[in-house]
A = this chain, B = another copy of it.
Amino acid sequence: MKNDKTSQNYTLNRRNFVTGIIPVIAGATIPSWASAKEIQQTREDNDFPGLITREKKPLNMEFPFPTLKNRITPNNQFFIRSHFNIPNIDATNWELEIGGNTNHVIKINLSELKKLPAKKVMATIECAGNGRANLAPKVKGLGWEQGGISNAEWTGVPLSVLLKKAGIKVGTVDIILEGNDEGMITEEPKSPGKIKFARSIPLNIAMQDHIIIAYEMNGKPLSAEHGFPARAIIPGWYGMASVKWLMKITASEKPFDGYWQTIEYAYWKRVEGLPTLTPVTTTLVKSEISRPVLFEAVPAGKPYQVRGAGWSGDSNLSKVEISTDKGNSWQPAKLIGPAIPFAWQLFEFEWVVPAKTGRYSLMARATDQNGKTQPMEHDLDRRTYMVNFISPIDVDVI
């Protein structure tokens, strides 16, 4: 009976892809994993253990969130987001150009970049579309479930150091970060032919110390998938701002309205009730339960360690709360380890599983030190971005 019920739920539920990876955690092989394997054939075996393929061309893979154990995501488990083919860059020829509204146009190669004063920053990067698969009705776009997010320690040169070298002129308002990845969006709304991935950040953000041009991820050179040889890291912002395969930095006198902050990665802010298009920026407060997973069978009457992570781009967390009764009551979870700015914080909560068997619903709700808390529903004005509503994990107490 139990097995029947569970397999039925796998079929019915919109989250069956994530539930599909449970056997992987247990070591078994299942079809959904096979597609990821295929990609790995072009790389060293076990390059991406457990990563969930969302798209093969271009390569988009999720961190297997139910395997969350440590604050730092190993490099080969860090989620992969690419908009076009991953560029094959020869580090010996690579140069980063800094120009636009500057006193000089400067070019820096990789060894010169590595000689500049470096800084380490821990930063959780969440894709702006993470959780999109949970939206109802179904939406277009890459169907990220839970794992369009990971956390690493990045090493690089503060962007401000490079901007000062080039000599930013008065009147600059935006810094455009341009990657080496390019291609064409053929679905509506189409891109105007081939375009390069590019994103801007305001000058006042760009000059902050923790905004770096990173060449290392958890102490190792960036892999091709993560932006080799150098990428931007914009801690506290959704991932689209942390431009990979960086090739050009441009000081602009006008706010930049590029494809990736207007047509894509933009949401609606209201002016006099009218929606106005605004680039997605800061990561909203959010938490996700990593264990139990959806429709996990949980033994009745025994304690169960609920686990997960919470984060907020704006500030540190003040609390994560758990509800085991569909949001009627909330109990505090324990935050693990110190608060580190821009990095997620793991949590745990000992659930006294009821003796009564049946379907139970678990929810996690994070609140940050600005008093912002996760909402119960998705706001339509956010389009398919910034999905941070509380997504219940239904389990079967057996």
Contact = CB atoms under 8 A, between A and B. Distances in A.
A277 B257 contact: yes
Contact of A189 (B189, B259, B271): B189
Size bin of chain A's contact surface: 35 or more
A198 B275 CA distance: 10
Interface string A36-67: 00000000000000000000000000000000
Interface in A158-207: 176, 178, 187-193, 195-196, 198
A133 B196 CA distance: 29
A189 B266 CA distance: 11
A4 interface: no
Nearest to A266: B262
Interface string A262-294: 110010100111111110000000000000000
Nearest to A178: B274
Nearest to A264: B189
B272 A100 contact: yes
A10 interface: no
A383 B248 CA distance: 26
A259 B195 CA distance: 23
B195 A274 contact: yes
B257 A380 contact: no
A209 interface: no
Copies of this chain per assembly: 2
A232 to B, nearest CB: 15
Contacts of A324: none
Contact of A275 (B187, B192, B250, B273): B192
A276 B263 contact: no
A354 interface: no
Interface in A74-111: 100
Contacts of A252: 271-272
Contacts of A325: none
Contacts of A192: 268, 275, 380-381, 383
The interface centre, meaning the residue of A192, A250, A256 with most chain B CB atoms within 10 A of its CB, is A192
A327 interface: no
A383 B195 CA distance: 14
Contact of A278 (B195, B196, B257, B275): B257
Given A189-B189, A189-B383, A262-B262, A274 B196 contact: yes
A289 B271 CA distance: 43
Interface of A: 100, 140, 176, 178, 187-193, 195-196, 198, 248, 250, 252, 254, 256-259, 262-263, 266, 268, 271-278, 380-381, 383
The 4 nearest A-B residue pairs measured at CB: A262-B277, A257-B276, A257-B277, A192-B268
11 contacts: A140-B188, A176-B271, A178-B272, A190-B383, A196-B273, A196-B274, A198-B274, A248-B272, A258-B275, A262-B266, A263-B263
Given A256-B271, A262-B277, 15 more contacts: A100-B272, A190-B383, A192-B381, A195-B275, A196-B273, A196-B274, A250-B271, A250-B272, A254-B271, A258-B271, A258-B277, A259-B268, A259-B277, A263-B263, A263-B277
